Amino acid sequence: MKKMFSKSPYTGKQFLIPTKNDTKNIDLFLERNSGHKVVVVQGLGFVGTVMSLVCANSDKEKYAVLGLDLASKESYWKIASINNGEVPVVSSDPLIDEYYNNCMRMGNLYATYDNYAISKADVIVVDINLDVIKEKDINGNLKNYDVSLDNFRLAMKSIADYCKEDVLILVETTVPPGVCSRVIYPIIIDGLKRRGLQLNRIRLGHSYERVMPGPNYIDSIKNFYRVYSGINNESAEATKEFLQTIISIDQYPLTRLKTTEATEIAKVLENSYRAMNISFIIEWTELAEKSGVDLFEVIEAIRMRPTHANLMYPGIGVGGYCLTKDPLLASWASQKFFGIKDGLEFSTRAVEKNDQMPAYCVDFIRSLIENKSFDIKSIGMLGVAYGPNIADTRFSPVQDLYLALNALDFELSCHDPYVSYWEELSLDVDNSLEDFLQQDHDALIISTGHSFYNDSGILYEKLQNSFTQKLIIDTVGILDEEKIKQNRNINHNFFVLGRGDLII
């Protein structure tokens, strides 16, 4: 039989995918943690991994935490990393390593691929992916979209096939409204029936995460407000009891909603609002550039009004796992479950508008090259993650920007302080800014708003010395005004997306 390996995108380490079950190791782990309540976190991605750390570090309850993921080429490296001394996420939050080291010292965290773990759980936290399938053209125009629940149903069936009859199942995954009551609960009940177990003791709750994988990664779970609900009153109470053992509820009280549909809607509405706020500013970016106006200056003036303090700034577009899909989850559910014929049109349009932003950014870059008569062959891109101070490249708008520039035959290379391998494009990414800036680039594009770029003396030194005759474009507005002025005095080839005053 051919051996299969799973490779970490961060360290490059390869781990052999096992062919046998992990039952013995799970039993030994639980024996060492005798007397602890058992939490199984299903899904070891950007949410599940850190949720596992927070649960294992609870100061209000002793938990033995089993992280559960698939023994597949795409996922097994996360399991192996946790058990071999490495956290399978990269973050600027120092608490990640602190919490992980605490777990290793206490011995109360173990990762596995064996569904046998589910049978031992007092609490199961569902943190698995549920994606939207988007069909769009090269300019980001949305042609069609759909949601497949097939893999999600299989994951829920694995819970139904193994769980205890009195377990608490807490769904953190962002799901289309209606999924807890119409999809998950029936699957669990059917599984209990087949196994001859009681049906009235199961508890199903929903409490969506608000994880921000940057410098406040841990705090976005532990020290942040939570909304929760249950499929019935007993489920809601059990959900509350669990959450208050891992969240600082004295400072961040819990908010209970009446139904799981309500909390499901709360999550997608929350993110749809933010996506729409971002998309709104895109057309104003073009107006500012055409009229010679500094849109950042305008927005800062407007933000002085408290009712408008969350007005967004210009940027390359929306990325990440939530804002790119959550409005579509809501629109899909409104049609499939609740009979709204046309779905949620404004929310859908917001996603489409945001997906168009990288194409607009490419046009902005091309117009500068053509109008200012630059001879550009090679471009260095600073940042590939979808947002500031994180290592997450999922649905990054930089990907669309990279592909569009690549199609125009520019020679491209990439730097990011947190990403060493760009999994979606199978590209190695430079981590040393000093080495990267020594390469012979005709242009530099700041494509992710890592604070590292604004704080780096290396970058400013190069901008003011080595790159005075080269094209520099900040697409995310990361550089502060004083430093922009300094660079403009030296290098008039320095431009910022949304800064029409620097173009005319």
pLDDT tens digits for 399-439? 999 999 999 999 999 999 999 999 899 999 999 999 999 99
Asked if 278 and 246 sit in the same domain, the reply is no
- Number of Cβ within a 10 Å radius of residue 321: 20
In percent, the amount of the chain with pLDDT more than 90 equals 74
Asked if 182 and 209 sit in the same domain, the reply is yes
pLDDT tens digits for 356-399? 999 999 999 999 888 888 889 999 999 999 999 888 898 899 99
DSSP conformational letter for 181: I
Gap between the Cα atoms of 223 and 217, Å rounded = 10
Asked if 76 and 225 sit in the same domain, the reply is yes
pTM exceeds 0.85 for this model: yes
* Structural domain count, the chain: 2
pLDDT of residue 491: 65
Measured between alpha carbons, how far is residue 480 from residues 251, 296, 456, 476, 487 in Å? 33, 11, 12, 11, 11
Name the pLDDT band for 142 (thresholds 50, 70, 90).
Answer: confident
Angle between helices 326-336 and 260-291 (to 10 degrees): 130
Q: Look-up: residue for tokens 């060493």?
A: 420
Asked if 227 and 299 sit in the same domain, the reply is no
Which of 216, 232, 259 is the C-terminal boundary of a domain? 259
428 in any annotated domain: yes
Query: Can you say whether residue 136 is alpha, beta or left, with left for phi > 0 and alpha for psi between -120 and 50 degrees?
Result: beta
DSSP conformational letter for 232: S
**Which range marks the domain in which residue 163 is found?**
5-259
pLDDT tens digits for 458-489? 787 777 777 767 888 999 988 777 777 777 76
Question: Which CATH number is 77's domain given?
Answer: 3.40.50.720
Higher-confidence residue of 319 and 45: namely 45
Measured between alpha carbons, how far is residue 294 from residues 177, 365, 465, 477, 501 in Å? 40, 17, 26, 11, 5
Residue 1 has pLDDT above 60, yes or no: no
305 CB-near residues (< 8 Å, 6+ apart): none
Closest CA to 348 of 180, 138, 132, 151: 132
pLDDT of residue 454: 85
**Which range has highest mean pLDDT (313-317, 396-400, 489-493)?**
396-400
Closest CA to 491 of 455, 466, 458: 466
User: At residue 163, what are phi and psi to the nearest 5 degrees?
Assistant: -70, 155
Residue 154 has pLDDT above 80, yes or no: yes
Asked if 72 and 212 sit in the same domain, the reply is yes
Name the pLDDT band for 124 (thresholds 50, 70, 90).
Answer: very high
335 in any annotated domain: yes
Asked if 45 and 71 sit in the same domain, the reply is yes
